[in-house]
Amino acid sequence: MAAPISVLTKELRENPRLADIDVYIAQGGYKTVEKVLKSMTPEDIVNEVKNSGLKGRGGAGFATGMKWGLCAERFPLYLCVNGDESEPGSFKDRLLLEGNPHRVIEGMIITCFALKINLGYLYMRGEFFQIIDQMEACLKQTKAHGFLGKDILGTGFDLELYPQAGAGAYICGEETGLIESLEGNRPYPRLKPPFFPAAIGLWGQPTIVNNVETMAQVERILDMGAEAYKQIGSADSTGPRLFGMCGHVKKPGIYEYDSTVTIRELIYDVAGGIPGDRKLKGVIPGGISAPILTPLEIDVPAEFGAMGKIGTMGGTGGMIVMDETTSIVDALLNASSFARHESCGQCTPCREGVPWMNDILRRIKEGKGRSEDLELLLDICVQIHGRTVCVFGQAPGVWPVRTMIVKYWPEFKACIDQKRLVVLPVDESYLKPDQYEFVPPVPGNFRLKPEAVAAAGG
Ligand SMILES: Cc1cc2nc3c(=O)[nH]c(=O)nc-3n(C[C@H](O)[C@H](O)[C@H](O)COP(=O)(O)O)c2cc1C
Ligand code: SF4
């Protein structure tokens, strides 16, 4: 099994007072900024990040160096760091913001220097009010120590960074919703393509949006060098990852491993297994939008590529583990209620389709399901998918619905047939992987094989 690592979390676990800049500096903090600003060119830094193979940690796993390379050189440019972290099951950015805020700030300074940015924002989930206060204090300390402001460390580089609190809307984590919110508008996401934030972003200017953990990873890459960083993990998924284990596990928490660790190892070895040694029913492997895996699908490494191949995604690394006592119908209703509540309402397929699916799921749970409901739900998924302004409509709108219904067809069917909420014995509740198929490349695009439907009673 992969061994635990502590590239991102070492100092954090050893010292609870890292928000104090003097403690952070005593542990080697801000040395990377000093080294980078005094001895590297912006191009050197971009090349180093490209060479590291870093994939963004905000959910989509987009290559950070490539994103930076797409940034138009039209001044001014802006950096927006995404600390909205509202995806259910995800809590790793909070750990970094709370436990090692200066590392995130260091990553932001390095990123801004690399991309010739003089103004950046750190957008944080509104409920993180203590963290936001602490971050404000940290940024003041950083400026007082000469790492922010005018002519940083005598290099001629100027930079201001500002914290910004959200107001509790999940859609503000979507990068263009975040930009709208920062501009003071209702956070309706923008249509992409044609224009991505790297071309037209905040105030109409080129903007890089990166996740909080991505910033911490940038600092690590520039400290240790891309070659050493690449030795961690695999060619597909380089560097350390933070996995948030929650739900039915004995030891919930954030664990740092490289991505070669399997989902089974994370559940049973790292998080201690399931309380009462009950059986596993399923695991959502990367925040609520990530398609669920049945117990027959967990011997897969937590790499972005390997997860994509089986129709799910690494996402935020936040894993929700569900044991045999869980009703998958109820779990899906829960996920769907979240999506219903958080849809911003801008586009019709999501605004109308997501609540419609939620209503159907509720009636199935209440024993009022109709024989045509599962087909109807799958059809609504088709009508929503790819027809919305932003990715929300499909994830978390469609992917959990389609994946759970296809994989756990027998349990949904039993609820409709028996007109009550049924929790089947776990081994009977889901289909075998050869009874459905994943149609790449979009996650969650699963189809039932007709013989499976027949075997499960139509
Ligand atoms: C509905 C929705 C919610 C999102 N929420 C977050 C979030 O809370 N934090 C985050 O970093 N990215 C979130 N994202 C992804 C961002 O749009 C963006 O891809 C990410 O911040 C880019 O950072 P990265 O390249 O460093 O991964 C969300 C995307 C969608 C569609
Ligand atoms: S898909 Fe949903 S969340 Fe995204 S813009 Fe449309 S209504 Fe808003």
135 pLDDT band (50/70/90 cuts)?
Answer: very high
Is it the case that residue 452 has pLDDT exceeding 80? no
What local confidence, expressed as pLDDT, does residue 106 receive? Answer: 98
Distance 140 CA to ligand 2 centre (A): 36
Mean pLDDT of 95-107: 97
For residue range 390-406, what is the model confidence (pLDDT) as tens digits? 999 999 999 999 999 99
What residue ranges of the chain are covered by domains with CATH 3.10.20.600? Answer: 240-323
DSSP 359-380: HHHHHHHTT---TTHHHHHHHH
173 CB near ligand 2 (under 6 Å): no
What residue ranges of the chain are covered by domains with CATH 3.40.50.11540? Answer: 10-230
How many whole angstroms separate alpha carbon 294 and alpha carbon 432? 9
The answer to which of 182-191, 242-251, 351-360, 435-444 has the lowest mean pLDDT is 435-444
What local confidence, expressed as pLDDT, does residue 14 receive? Answer: 78
Closest ligand (CA of 398): 2
362 CB near ligand 2 (under 6 Å): no
Distance 386 CA to ligand 2 centre (A): 11
Report the half-sphere exposure of 72 (CA within 13 A, side-chain side). Answer: 15
62 CB near ligand 1 (under 6 Å): yes
Is it the case that residue 18 has pLDDT exceeding 80? yes
181 CB near ligand 1 (under 6 Å): no
What local confidence, expressed as pLDDT, does residue 29 receive? Answer: 95
Mean pLDDT of 122-143: 96
58 CB near ligand 1 (under 6 Å): yes
Closest residue CA from atom 25 of ligand 1: 56
457 pLDDT band (50/70/90 cuts)?
Answer: low
Is it the case that residue 140 has pLDDT exceeding 70? yes
How many whole angstroms separate alpha carbon 337 and alpha carbon 234? 37
- Nearest-atom index, ligand 2, CA of 351: 7
Crossing angle (nearest 10°) for helices 42-52 and 212-224: 100
171 CB near ligand 2 (under 6 Å): yes
The answer to which of 233-242, 347-356, 389-398, 448-457 has the lowest mean pLDDT is 448-457
448 pLDDT band (50/70/90 cuts)?
Answer: very high
For residue range 219-256, what is the model confidence (pLDDT) as tens digits? 999 999 999 999 999 999 999 999 999 999 999 999 99
The answer to which of 48-52, 78-82, 192-196, 264-268 has the lowest mean pLDDT is 192-196
Closest ligand (CA of 384): 2
How many whole angstroms separate alpha carbon 54 and alpha carbon 7? 14
For 73, other C-beta atoms within 10 Å of its C-beta total 8
- Locate tokens 């990040």: which residue? 49
Is it the case that residue 458 has pLDDT exceeding 70? no
Task: Write the class of the CATH domain 10-230.
Answer: alpha beta
Distance 400 CA to ligand 1 centre (A): 18
How many whole angstroms separate alpha carbon 427 and alpha carbon 404? 15
The one-letter amino acid at 75: F
Closest residue CA from atom 8 of ligand 2: 344
Is it the case that residue 16 has pLDDT exceeding 80? no
Furthest-apart CA atoms within the chain: distance in Å: 74
135 CB near ligand 2 (under 6 Å): no
- Nearest-atom index, ligand 1, CA of 87: 8
pTM given for the model = 0.96
Is it the case that residue 363 has pLDDT exceeding 70? yes
Is it the case that residue 272 has pLDDT exceeding 90? yes
CATH number of the domain located at residue range(s) 240-323 in this protein:
3.10.20.600
Distance 173 CA to ligand 1 centre (A): 5
- Nearest-atom index, ligand 1, CA of 84: 8
- 328-455 CATH fold: de novo design (two linked rop proteins) (1.20.1440)
Is it the case that residue 73 has pLDDT exceeding 90? no
Mean pLDDT of 122-148: 97
Using most ligand atoms within 8 A of CB, pick from 392, 394, 398, 399 the residue to mutate for ligand 2: 392
162 pLDDT band (50/70/90 cuts)?
Answer: very high
Is it the case that residue 456 has pLDDT exceeding 70? no
Which percentage of the chain shows pLDDT scores above 90? 93
Is it the case that residue 411 has pLDDT exceeding 70? yes
173 CB near ligand 1 (under 6 Å): yes
Distance 307 CA to ligand 2 centre (A): 25
Using most ligand atoms within 8 A of CB, pick from 164, 175, 215 the residue to mutate for ligand 1: 175
For 14, other C-beta atoms within 10 Å of its C-beta total 10
Mean pLDDT of 332-346: 97
Closest residue CA from atom 6 of ligand 1: 173
- Residue with the bigger pLDDT between 71 and 145: it is 145
Mean pLDDT of 45-51: 97
Is it the case that residue 453 has pLDDT exceeding 90? no
What residue ranges of the chain are covered by domains with CATH 1.20.1440.230? Answer: 328-455
- Residue with the bigger pLDDT between 169 and 457: it is 169
For residue range 181-199, what is the model confidence (pLDDT) as tens digits? 999 999 999 999 889 999 9
- Nearest-atom index, ligand 1, CA of 177: 17
85 CB near ligand 1 (under 6 Å): yes
Query: What b/e readout covers 154-189, taking b as 16+ CB neighbours within 10 angstroms?
Result: eeebebebebbbbeebbbbbbbbbbbbbbeeeebbb
Structure tokens of 336? 């769907």
Residue 319's beta-bridge partner residues? 245
Distance 213 CA to ligand 1 centre (A): 11
57 CB near ligand 1 (under 6 Å): yes
Distance 92 CA to ligand 2 centre (A): 25
Q: Over the chain, what is the mean pLDDT?
A: 95
72 pLDDT band (50/70/90 cuts)?
Answer: confident
377: closest CA among 415, 411, 405?
A: 405
For 153, other C-beta atoms within 10 Å of its C-beta total 14
Residue 448's beta-bridge partner residues? 436
The one-letter amino acid at 32: T
